[in-house]
Chain A
């Protein structure tokens, strides 16, 4: 059974860089058709897509965050990571990692991590 687990600091200071890692177990990160993505959810609000990465390094970013976001993949460790720079309180959210299937021209999120709350505060 595929499992994903987010890890990283739960508290980040304003203007600093948020860094999270997602560890994939129970399956390979190097499979065709599958991307690996990040989604966030501010407290009490809806879901917001951040970006997807393929094991080869091909990346799709949400244009709203593209200037601050870096997503990378480490296939040897079956991990992928998120970095979000110059954070503000508006970046406080539960951050989810997910497996993303590319099918018929669309992305769908079929396996999710449990999510990790990141609070931006001094």
Chain B
């Protein structure tokens, strides 16, 4: 089955830049989306169509795409950014797929 591969965890100090990657063969042909999920809460979309930021999402969140990898970048990480982050895309048949999630720890 089609999988989106994310690192299980990323750790950064406050004010530094966090980069979370998501890799899969179909990513050059399908858009990717990123969701932030804090404990006990529903996910919130922070990036859509690889690099677009929804209204209300801070500018420190950005997305990029290169080949089979998409990257969520959080510049100037704040303590409140500590959360699980999930990428989402689709396989060649259009089946929605989520990555396994990355736990971002702010040291």
A-B complex is real: yes
Which residues of A line the B interface, CB within 8 A?
39, 46-49, 52, 60, 62-64, 96, 103-110, 112-115
| B63 at the binding interface (Cβ < 8 Å) | no
A56 CB to closest chain B CB (Å) equals 17
Contact (Cβ within 8 A) B101 A47: yes
Which residues of B line the A interface, CB within 8 A?
1, 30-31, 33, 35, 37, 41-45, 48-49, 54, 86, 88-90, 94-101
**Closest B-chain residue to A107, C-beta based?**
B96
9 A-B pairs closest in CB distance: A112-B42, A49-B96, A47-B98, A46-B101, A106-B31, A46-B100, A108-B33, A108-B48, A115-B42
Known A-B contacts A46-B98, A46-B99, A47-B101; the reply to A109 vs B86 at CB < 8 A is no
Contact (Cβ within 8 A) B31 A114: no
**Closest A-chain residue to B94, C-beta based?**
A60
Contact (Cβ within 8 A) B35 A109: yes
**Closest A-chain residue to B102, C-beta based?**
A46
Interface centre among A48, A63, A109 (most CB of B within 10 A): A109
Question: Chain B residues near A48 (CB, 8 Å)?
Answer: 98
Contact (Cβ within 8 A) B96 A62: yes
- CA of A39 to CA of B37 in the docked complex: distance in angstroms? 14
Question: Chain B residues near A49 (CB, 8 Å)?
Answer: 95-98
Contact (Cβ within 8 A) A108 B45: yes
Known A-B contacts A46-B101, A49-B96; the reply to A112 vs B1 at CB < 8 A is no
Contact (Cβ within 8 A) B86 A107: no
Contact (Cβ within 8 A) B45 A110: yes
- CA of A47 to CA of B96 in the docked complex: distance in angstroms? 11
**Closest A-chain residue to B49, C-beta based?**
A104
